[in-house]
Amino acid sequence: MSKQPPGAPPPPPVQRIRLRYTKRGRLRFTSHRDIARVFERALRRAQVPMAFSAGFSPHPKISWVGAAATGVASEAEYVEIALAVVCDPEQVRQALDASLPAGIDLVEAVVAEPGTSLPDRVQASSWLIGLPQVPLQDLEQAVVKFLAATVIEVERMTKNGRRVFDTRSAVVSMRATQGDDCAILRVVVQHVTPAVRPDDVLTGLRSVSDLATPVPPAATRLAQGPLTPEGEVADPLAPDRVAAGHPGATAGATRQVSEVAGVQPPG
């Protein structure tokens, strides 16, 4: 039987705050593990009163949700922190945002609705993928072939070894548009296991068409959250705003999604 450290265990959290943050510019090449270290250091600098785990190596209670892969940018990353003292979420956001490097911007902080799980709300992601030097007509033809298929298998190395999985079943919608200087692929992808990433979608596109991508694509996650019956990605923090009685909570959720709709792929 393992021994317990001396002294009383730390008190349970009295408040949980959910944060939405961005990953932009060069920081899109930062791994999730490094992002987590940056957050822990920023929490200490901002003197946020974190709740800690028990045991011989206590650590701050931080829960990450659907972190984007290394190499992709995001306008909608989420993390939940547990506090030992009740705080104003906006003050926490401002203090923590000032302690984070440029490229990680805290967009919003809300008090978590009691008894709810943020991971349960994050069911899908909306992606914008910029494809330089790809003619829009070629991309449109590839999209038609992709959507017409019933199964599109790709192979990728995962932490559990090399896996073959279906990308088509995870894609809710897909369309091609013309950006300022490149063709744009907009995709809504369900969160499945193993996760279907933007590069998996592009591999699937290449497998069903002659689509060539001479320049590395640039992917940006625009949103992640619940999947609506219409196949759109809703705001996962909207129920928390409603529970907290924030005025205009529903309108705010719609506005946030529309604000990032015009985001261009990172350079």
Q: What is the mean pLDDT of residues 194-210?
A: 94
| Choice between 160 and 224, residue whose per-residue pLDDT is larger | 224
Residues 184, 218: contact at Cβ < 8 Å? Answer: no
How many residues are given for the chain?
Answer: 267
The predicted-structure confidence for 45-57, as pLDDT tens digits, reads as follows 999 999 998 877 8
pLDDT at 34 over 70: yes
Same fold, 15-120 and 124-225: yes
CATH 3.30.70.580 matches 15-120: yes
Give dist(CA 184, CA 217) in Å, integer.
10
pLDDT at 242 over 70: yes
Average pLDDT, the chain: 89
Residues 95, 88: contact at Cβ < 8 Å? Answer: no
Give dist(CA 80, CA 218) in Å, integer.
27
The predicted-structure confidence for 91-143, as pLDDT tens digits, reads as follows 999 999 999 999 999 999 999 999 999 999 999 999 999 999 999 999 999 99
> Can you point out the beta strands (E) in 24-101?
62-65, 73-83
Residues 112, 16: contact at Cβ < 8 Å? Answer: yes
The predicted-structure confidence for 151-174, as pLDDT tens digits, reads as follows 999 998 777 788 899 999 999 999
Q: What is the mean pLDDT of residues 214-231?
A: 96
Give dist(CA 5, CA 231) in Å, integer.
50
Handedness of CA 35, 37, 42, 43 (dihedral sign): positive
Q: Where are the domains of the chain?
A: 15-120, 124-225
Residues 51, 61: contact at Cβ < 8 Å? Answer: yes
In DSSP terms, 31 is beta-bridged to none
The per-residue pLDDT for 14 is 96
Give dist(CA 179, CA 62) in Å, integer.
37
Question: What is the distance of C-alpha 232 from the center of its chain?
Answer: 15
68: left (phi over 0), alpha (psi -120 to 50) or beta: beta
Residues 174, 161: contact at Cβ < 8 Å? Answer: no
Give dist(CA 99, CA 25) in Å, integer.
18
CATH 3.40.630 matches 124-225: no
- Please count the CA atoms within 13 angstroms of the CA of 165 that sit on its side-chain side: 18
pLDDT at 182 over 80: yes
Long-range contacts formed by 116-119: CB under 8 A, 24+ apart? 116/239, 116/240, 118/18, 118/63, 118/65, 118/78, 118/80, 118/236, 119/63, 119/65, 119/66
